[in-house]
Chain A
Amino acid sequence: MFNIQKAVSRLNFAPKINEIEITDIKNGIGVFIPKAEKPVSYAALKETLKKAGYTLASAKITVNGKLTRDAVGWSLMTDTSGQRFILEGEGVDLALPDAAPNAQVEVTGDWRTAGEGKEIITPLPAKKAGRSHNEGGANQAKTEYVDVTSGGPLDVGPAPVAPIRTTSPGLTVYRGGAFTPRYVYMRQQLGGLKVDRHIMLLDFSYTPTPKLLVEAEIPVTRISFKDGATSGGGEGVGNIIISGKYRFFRRVEAWGDRQAALRFGLELPTGKKDAPGEQELQPQAFLRKQLSPISGGLSPHVDLTYSQAKGRFILGANAEVVLRSQRDGFRMGHELRVNTDLEYVLLPRKYDRPGGEVFAILESNFIRRGTGRVAGAPVTGSHSTEYYLAPGVQYAMRPRFVIEASYQLPLARNTGPQVLRIERGLLIGVRLLY
């Protein structure tokens, strides 16, 4: 393996020898991040490996740059080295559905040289996915490094094969946007009162710059309750949340990706404030207010997110604070949420093209709420501490179409006598990328 690293390190666009990683010794797969300011060459890579006794089977490259268009088609111009990559193949439309000149994009694809200084990328479609219970879970963009190339063993027999995958520095979250409708069902309970809450969360997100994601979430809620002989219900739009997530850290490593982002959101007082059960639950004003689609008025959300992908595992976590203000004298307590998200790529066992991936998911949600208010006064027994576990599954049927489902169950709850307790929850969602 040392010979491959040494051979690649000779290239003027290659990093230091210890930064060239051989990720699969048996199949001779390696990864390196080229120097940003140097133009790269597939032909040079192939030649140096040939000089070291290896045959380069294939290479993939990830490039971040600006799109340009001419008579031939789309090209990608890197900001740092000024190198031009011609984009071709059927994957171009899928990878760049809303391509526009000067748009900043990140493209991954098969790499080759076709003549002097003519580097060509045949793009692979990108993939993005995320999910969460409780409207505020770990919801990060992620990058998977499951290499698709394969070759013969190294250092044995004649003409061994050495496919190399290279990754250029890039910070793109995902160019374009996503529409993610999710259905969440929650069964809540307090004494003899049983509440069924059906929430349709309509989430729209878009990335105007490589590091920034803007998002709007519109909840539509239907609530029904029964308390012994009485029952009732209502529906309405909840508070709309608008937010911006800025990714301030990203490190791409061999078969791995680490990133961190800070999100600022604002929950707008747009939701329906009326609650059903005015007659039946009149004496319990705080409890009755919890049957409305809102948790208070204008509320800032601050959220720090970290995610890491390595091999088949993806780990994400976020910590979120929500400071609630009153609306008509009512609000739930201020919130601290800590969510974790562990994922494992179940299928395919051998990855040869995007789509058809199945992820096993285990989410956990810790929620700590302070004392709430009604009629402007603090309500004794309105605080709560809850911890939930949500196993689930996600199916990326196509690179731009993802289905997800998870079931939430309580692990530990310490809720005051005025707070509805979640008994169980179900999330079903789809994600459409555009």
Chain B
Amino acid sequence: MKKLLLGNEAVARGLYESGCRLVSSYPGTPSTEITEYASKYDELYCEWAPNEKVACEVAIGSCIGGARSFTAMKHVGLNVAADPLFTSSYTGVNAGLIIGVADDPGMHSSQNEQDSRHYAIAAKLPMVEPSDSTECRDFVKAAYEISERFDTPVLFRLSTRVSHSQSIVELGEREDLPLKEYKKDPSKFVMMPAMAKKRHVVVEERQAALAQWAEETPLNQVMMGDKKVGVITSGVSYQYAREALGDNASYLKLGLINPLPVKLIQDFAAKVDELFVIEELDDIIETHCKKIGVKVTGKEKFSRIGEISQNIVRKAMLGEAPEAVSYPAQLPVRPPVMCAGCPHRGMFYALKQENCMVSGDIGCYTLGAAAPLSAMDTTVCMGASISGLHGFNKARGEESTHHSVAVIGDSTFIHSGITGLIDIAYNQGKSKVVILDNSITGMTGHQQNPTTGYTIKGDPTAAINLEKLCESVGFHNIHVVDPYDLKATRQAVKELLAADEPSVLVSRRPCALLKYVKHNPPIQISKDKCRSCKACLKIGCPAISMKDGKAVIDETLCVGCNLCKGLCAFGAIDPDNE
């Protein structure tokens, strides 16, 4: 049967067909849907782990236990999982292990644009990269074979355009593999110096064997067209090149992107007049070519920044620019915004009123940095809000704890915020932390997490009590507020900042987009009572705008959260329910 599958869905299909038994991941765009789709197959045990390091370790343990295993993460998630990654290269596997990593060139939904291929080189692991959904499925199968044949975890690199594009896949059957035998083998799995020294030798030997295999694997393909121009490429860049150049070029398409072949590249180079490397982000293939004495043109023509496209290839290689009409005036941008009824809005409005330094974190609430709320000073990585604020407060002295606060979502708090909180308590800090508990992992599209009380399958399970958790690490001033109650929220923020001890304020209200959340009917603004002061626009609700000089509420967007009501000094908002 043929089906149109999202790249991520095709990876999940590949896991199913390859007899994978366990998937453990932490959500992260653009990798999230792999694990969501995998969880729909009852044959696979799937879970959301608290963070990528845990997820990776669970997958390592499972593969040692004899089951083909998988973990998926976004590029920055691999930074979190780097510790187990590097040493799993030394231990190798029992059953196959694939570590999926999705890069985000163009930063559609990320805080940086790092190229995860560097990890494959640094950790001395094979890495494969598919270019469409069929390859997503096929390369999973190939990666498990590599993993078990060469006794190594395999990195599986995706990018946004492959993960989030649908293309046609011919579905196959599941291969049912028995659990492999588990045998105690400390020389392979206990990595203390005496054993690790020996394993490093094995890693280097494996590298050499893989490099040899890179010359012959069908994952790398030569497609000869016009021999004037040769292109070495991989992943979605191949699709861009092929679309732009068609049969007017020859291609070496690399499916195995670490280690890279030598002779295959040299032979291809000898067949064409001029050779180009088309790769997104860093110059990894290009550097390899130059190292083995092959003359190529790469980053002189293609940027290290952002995505490549067929138009970029046409312009760089053919000098062609598109014929296009354009709108002859400047247009207002439309940045993403917090949704109407978003529970984070009330808290950010209150923080803005206090004019305090806000140490931010990663999630929907990072949008609190945008106008008109503009209530965020820093965002670095998952968890850095709390630990970063601790450093800020230690640097600037105790007085600064009354004018600064960390904000972090429930899922991010569990991911890596709790360790920062422990640091504050242990090292006698007095920092103030707001946990934005919207009862879900929001930005990545509503995944359950250890605070929600449900598993990835929707089964009820233990839920972390955030207040008790904070208390147990040494915080004693802990309060909870409903951010829809603006008055109470403002008061709670004032008290939080005034406190003379490390303190936590939990801002608790489920995400307005959750299916079980019941909305109030949309509210209206009285045209007669509205004085056009625009105070209600200060909360940045997408449902409120000015029409003909008066504030109006868009009924199709408003969820009746009533937050705006408290901002109107003239009782113009929802006047009938005063």
Do A and B make up one complex?
no
**Residues of chain B having any CB pair with chain A under 8 Å:** none
**Residues of chain A having any CB pair with chain B under 8 Å:** none
